[in-house]
Amino acid sequence: MKKSDIFWQTYLNLEKEVIEVSKYIFFTDEVLVNGNNGVVAQNCKTQLETFSPHIADLLVQCCVQIEAVSKELYFDNGGTKVRGDSSILFDEDCLKLIDIKWQTHNKIVMVVAPYFNLTKDENCLLRPLKEAHKRQGTYWERAYQAVKHDRYSSLQRGNVKALIQALGALYLLNIYYRNDSWVTKYNSIKKSDYSMGSSVFAVKPPEADQLWYGNHEVISESPFVVKYKDDDYRRIEEMQRQEQQALSEYWSRQPEINEPEFLMQLTKASESGQRVMHIWELAKYRLNKKIPSNLPFEEKKSRLINSEEWNGWVHQHNEHLSAEELTEDNIQNEINTVGTCWGMDIMKRFQKLEWIQIAMNSNICKIYIP
């Protein structure tokens, strides 16, 4: 058995005890009352402020485990003090090192237990390790120190709110200590179970926006990051390179690319602040040459609707004006739109995007703790 399994089992046992408490104390931050317009929800603090000796005991047990797991993470990740050194502080030494390494102050733990009726972000979207590297920097640690050192006069500090937050901190630390990783499809990243076996909490999925461009891990509110496995990403990159090379060779052969009028069009497009797709601009330029602006409306309309561009796949398979809807006021905009669509058709000949199927639907994405 791995050491992390022992800590995780202890966490699960504490979680079960907290769930058992919730059978007798309704964990909620709102109450329903009869109003003039029917039943309405009102804020409620009393349930989360409920305290008892048993809740205080559970709080202390959670925090003892927080101290233990944070020290293990400290020793495993370059802590300079040696095991057994009595000067090691779990917050100012251990949780500080952990925060520097993983930015744990920004990680969110979501309360997902269906039997906890927590509606406010402050109660169901927790950052339980925010300020945890400071001496008594968190609500749960202040409560822990109070009930540990002066149980009699501080018993009210051992309440449901402190217990949930301490359990959330312990859950998050265990996520890091377990250091789980797995491989999945890009399309399945957000579908994975990020409770990691908890019945109360889950963490956010990692961010992976267009991972196929750069394969960079993104540090986010999740403890996890995601990247393609190196060999698989190299294969995707090579397919992208071949497509781009074919498109570049096509572009270099086009006679219009050095014409002053086209260069002026490119400059104007660049000044718009939007990304300029050169092939799209070339297709618009060509279509406008085929249909000069000084032609009579009916002639422009006839040339447009009988053009190869008008009947292109992209234009015909997207929302567009019908021939009957064309007017003198909108035909120039439609010529530009049709030209852009034709530019997309040209790019499709070279950028077949065969790598997309691999990038999105193959088991090549590794989710892990960085």
Structure confidence by residue, pLDDT tens digits, 168-193:
999 999 999 999 999 999 999 999 99
Domain boundary pick from 161, 179, 197: 179
First to last CA, the chain: 23
Spatial CA neighbour of 180 closest among 302, 4, 364: 4
- φ, ψ for residue 114 (rounded to 5)? -70, -20
| pTM (2 d.p.) | 0.83
CA-CA distance, 366 to 3, in Å (whole number)? 24
Q: Is 347 in the same domain as 252?
A: yes
Structure confidence by residue, pLDDT tens digits, 40-56:
888 999 999 999 999 99
Q: Is 199 in the same domain as 107?
A: no
- φ, ψ for residue 269 (rounded to 5)? -65, -40
Q: Is 23 in the same domain as 166?
A: yes
Structural domain of 151: 3-179
- φ, ψ for residue 177 (rounded to 5)? -70, -35
Q: Is 114 in the same domain as 191?
A: no
Domain boundary pick from 179, 206, 223: 179
Number of folded domains in the chain?
2
Per-residue pLDDT of the chain (370 residues; tens, 9 = 90+): 789 999 999 999 999 999 999 999 999 999 888 878 888 888 999 999 999 999 999 999 999 999 999 999 999 999 999 999 999 999 999 999 999 999 999 999 999 999 899 999 999 999 999 999 999 999 999 999 999 999 999 999 999 999 999 999 999 999 999 999 999 999 999 999 999 999 999 999 999 989 999 999 999 999 999 999 999 999 999 999 999 999 999 999 999 999 999 999 999 999 888 889 999 999 999 999 999 999 999 999 999 999 999 999 999 999 999 999 999 999 999 999 999 999 999 999 988 888 999 999 999 999 999 9
Q: Is 190 in the same domain as 98?
A: no
Q: Is 117 in the same domain as 264?
A: no
Q: Is 173 in the same domain as 139?
A: yes
Domain boundary pick from 149, 179, 209: 179
Can you say whether the dihedral through the CA atoms of 111, 114, 117, 119 is positive or negative? positive
Q: Which two tokens stand for residue 359?
A: 């990038």
Q: Is 115 in the same domain as 142?
A: yes
Q: Is 190 in the same domain as 320?
A: yes
Q: Is 212 in the same domain as 142?
A: no
